[in-house]
Amino acid sequence: MALNMTEVAGAQTQGAPASGIVEIAEHLRRSSVLIGGGRGGRGGSGVIWETSANKGVIITNAHLVKDRRAYVTLRDGQTSEGRVTSLDARSDLAALTIETGGLPVATIGDSDTLRVGELVFAVGNPLGLVGALAVGIVHVSGKQWIGVDVRLAPGNSGGMLADAEGHVVGINSMIANGLALAVPSNAVERFLARDARPQLGIKIRALPMTRDGSDALGLLVFDVQSGSVAEK
């Protein structure tokens, strides 16, 4: 679905109702979810990124899912327990899988084409307000962050940033110096592609040691990912 905001703006100048913006908002809200952190976790937002017949992939912020699991509530009120399948604390991204298929996935846009001055929408769940919409413009757009003058509150973390055609171009992450910072959609795609490769599921550190009187190099395993091949 692609709604042209130029046409919407033209309709408004002729006195027509701003139904185009309402349609965009409704389209985006269908793909937005509420993230509950579970045991002591903080609540936030997420985006339905992919779906199949029996599962869905939700993208959110890594800082919302420290327990490796989180409850995901869909727009229709259905709640499922999501399992973290990929996590990158540096980029503040996490992918959760829920055992529910046929979900209304978001239309993903190309964040590299986003321009300074473009109108954007943020959808999330700030302060318990489910599916709230905020509007702003792009201040800066880069490979790592998109800076937008959108007012975000606690609960917006992990929610979508969309362009004027309803394409998701980022995942809202934090506020810095009054600007909302979002992870670009292309960075999310790279995150998913990287973690699609087979992984053992351990974190290791090189450790100098002595073996049979000679210097050697060992590997210290200091973390085993839950549900990974290494754990099994």
Q: What residues are annotated to the active site?
A: 63, 92, 157
Residue identified by tokens 């937002």 is 45
Instruction: List the beta bridge partners of residue 57.
Output: 50, 97
Instruction: Give, in order, the Cα–Cα distances in Å from 49 to each of 86, 95, 125, 129, 153.
Output: 13, 9, 17, 22, 23
As a whole number of Å, the CA-based R_g of the chain is 20
CA gap 156, 43 in Å, rounded: 9
- Whole-Å CA distances, 155 to 35, 63, 172: 9, 12, 10
Spatial separation of the C-alpha atoms in residues 42 and 115, rounded to whole Å: 32
Are residues 171 and 160 in contact, defined by beta-carbon separation less than 8 angstroms?
A: yes
